[in-house]
A and B are shown apart, each in its own frame.
Chain A
Amino acid sequence: MQITINATQARKNFFNLLEQVANTDTTFIISKGKRKSPIIITRPKKVYEHEKPTDDLKIVMDIAGSLEGNSEYKANEDEIAKEIFIKDYLKKHD
């Protein structure tokens, strides 16, 4: 979530703001007067990435085509999806 606040609000709530950034996915965008670029306070990205490029490559190779054999290719999959969406939507909200 992104929250935009002005510098005065940020100063008044600084410790709450730090707590929220540290414990949630909240990003604060702090605007100040006529400053063109806002200041952004956010938590560093969680380290998910695999250690070595070889780990990533192995995963890429393992996943490729892993859904093979489940169904045939439909060139008009976009159109089919739209039709299904409309039907579902009407059913859901009727």
Chain B
Amino acid sequence: MINNVVIDTNILIRYLHKDNLAMHKKAKRLFISIGKRELVGYLTILTIHETIYILKNVYHIDKKLFIEKIKQIIRLKNIEIFNYPKATLETLLEKYESMNVDFPDIVNMNHAIENNMCVATFDKDYKNTKTKLYSL
């Protein structure tokens, strides 16, 4: 039996959001297996981004309502994040929650600051942050 599962965005959303009962039950069953440590669930940072984007922009849910839930999910022992330290992801989620900037921009800013780099962008959102910008 395969004990490692990559979790897609729609599973994560249906698990958090009980808007489709049949799908919610299936997604919840999967997370119960993860909670019981019978299964290891793998998430990518892209899945996290997509989940945030859909919950915020399609379902218009306040980010304060779902960021804490996502943080709780990534702290589960049997949840793994592909190629990303959980501590860094949690910091990024906290920054996203407190700043009025999109999640991918938070990721870029964080990488730039941590590596003493600047960001090359046309995006106006960066101007209100401490990120060093590349002069284009």
Contact = CB atoms under 8 A, between A and B. Distances in A.
Interface of A: 1-2, 24-25, 45-46, 48-50, 53, 56-61, 63-74, 77-78, 80-81, 84-85, 88, 92-93
B48 to A, nearest CB: 14
Interface string B28-62: 10011011110000000000001001110111110
A74 B10 CA distance: 11
Contacts, number: 122
Interface residues of B, number: 47
Contacts of A48: 74-75, 86-87
Contacts of A73: 17, 19-20
A58 B13 CA distance: 19
13 contacts: A53-B77, A56-B34, A57-B35, A60-B28, A60-B32, A63-B15, A63-B16, A64-B31, A67-B18, A77-B10, A81-B50, A81-B58, A84-B57
